[in-house]
Amino acid sequence: MTVSRVINNTGNIREETRERVLDAIEKLNYHPNSMARGLNNNRIHSIGVATSLSSSHILVASSPFFHGLLNGIESSLMKHQSDLVISTRRGHKGTSDYFRLFYERKVDGIILISTYLDSSDVEEMLANNIPCVVIGTRTDSDRIVCIDSDNFQAGKEITERLIEKGHRKIGFIRVSEQNSNVEERYRGFGEAMKAHGLEPGEEHVFSVRMEEEEEAGRRVMKAVAAMADPPTAVIASNDFLAIGMIREAQRLGIPIPGELSVVGFDAMETGRVIQPSLYSMRQPLGEMGFLAAETLMRLIEDPHDAGSSRIFPMEPVPGDSMAPPK
């Protein structure tokens, strides 16, 4: 007990005793057992991060998005002296399988990174009664805190930039998976077009499978190149696709932005390096991750705190891949 008091700096300890204890700890190379601690006082000082972003490998798949968020999450955890348990496990078919890991590990709270949330996920989160913050999508339930960026506004804004430049025939690449980010971006696109009395040509709206990433972009580029009446600009719903398009255009000898403007979302590093550099919209991922973790910490500390959702605006990241149409 005295050792416990020394370690946790609680209660009254005579200075000499403290030193003796610390000496012994040093000598014995003692480390407190955080499992026993957690078992005892129900606080393990770690949180779980789950993602249902499509694709098999949790850390790798989701690269730019996941990475930026994790950076922000980390900063917050460091502040709160908590750790991160990242799951990797057991078939992991979907979200709830990740959750199971966290229930077993008894993490203090969960951050769910997901661009799509179905109602069973929501129910499960509520039922399990564990503090939880969602990043990357929104729900109707006011009992779940969501941190997201304003994909609708971003889609609208980037479309408006193109229209300002004089584009009328603007294409859009959607993805076939359920993905609220992409859906919102597309909705913003439609809204901006309508506001300017434009309508997207049916054959100018593409739908691809998200996992194909760059390859899908290349395919769209080929399709555009073969069109009798091609769009003068294409909005790719993410930078992978946009980069695929640009690289394929290079291969085909189609000048970008001369012949076609291409823009994307998420401001990936490769978009900065490619020629022409990619015009994109950035989500403030670091801030989002940080806020999510801070909020989660508050929920953990105080079960009565309801937390509050927050939508971050996205910012344009200028690049040379956008120009007026010929």
Partner DNA sequence: CATCAAAATGTTAACGCAAACATTTTGATC
Partner DNA sequence: GATCAAAATGTTTGCGTTAACATTTTGATG
Contacts with DNA, residue ranges (CB under 7 A): 1-2, 4-5, 7-8, 10-14, 16-17, 31-33, 36-37, 39-41
Nearer to a copy of itself, 106 or 169 (CB): 106
The first and second tokens of residue 96, run together, are 């709830």
Nearest CA to 296 out of 149, 125, 150, 140 is that of: 125
Give the nearest distance from C-beta 68 to a copy of itself in angstroms: 8
Helices (H), the chain: 2-8, 15-28, 34-41, 58-61, 63-80, 95-105, 119-128, 151-164, 180-195, 214-225, 239-252, 269-273, 285-301
Residues 122-181, interacting with a copy of itself (CB under 8 A): 127-128
Q: What is the largest distance, in Å, between two alpha-carbon atoms of the chain?
A: 88
Distance CA 51, CA 111 (A): 8
Nearer to DNA, 9 or 56 (CB): 9
Q: Which of 20, 22, 32, 308 binds a copy of itself (CB under 8 A)?
A: 32
Q: Which of 35, 126, 195, 227 binds a copy of itself (CB under 8 A)?
A: 35
Per CB under 8 A, does 33 bind a copy of itself? yes
Give the nearest distance from C-beta 5 to DNA in angstroms: 6
Distance CA 267, CA 315 (A): 10
Strand 315-317 versus strand 170-175 pairing type: unpaired
Q: Which residues bind a copy of itself (CB under 8 A)?
A: 29, 31-36, 38-39, 44, 46, 57-60, 63, 67, 70-71, 74-75, 77-78, 81-90, 100-101, 103-106, 127-128, 243, 247, 250, 269-270, 273-275
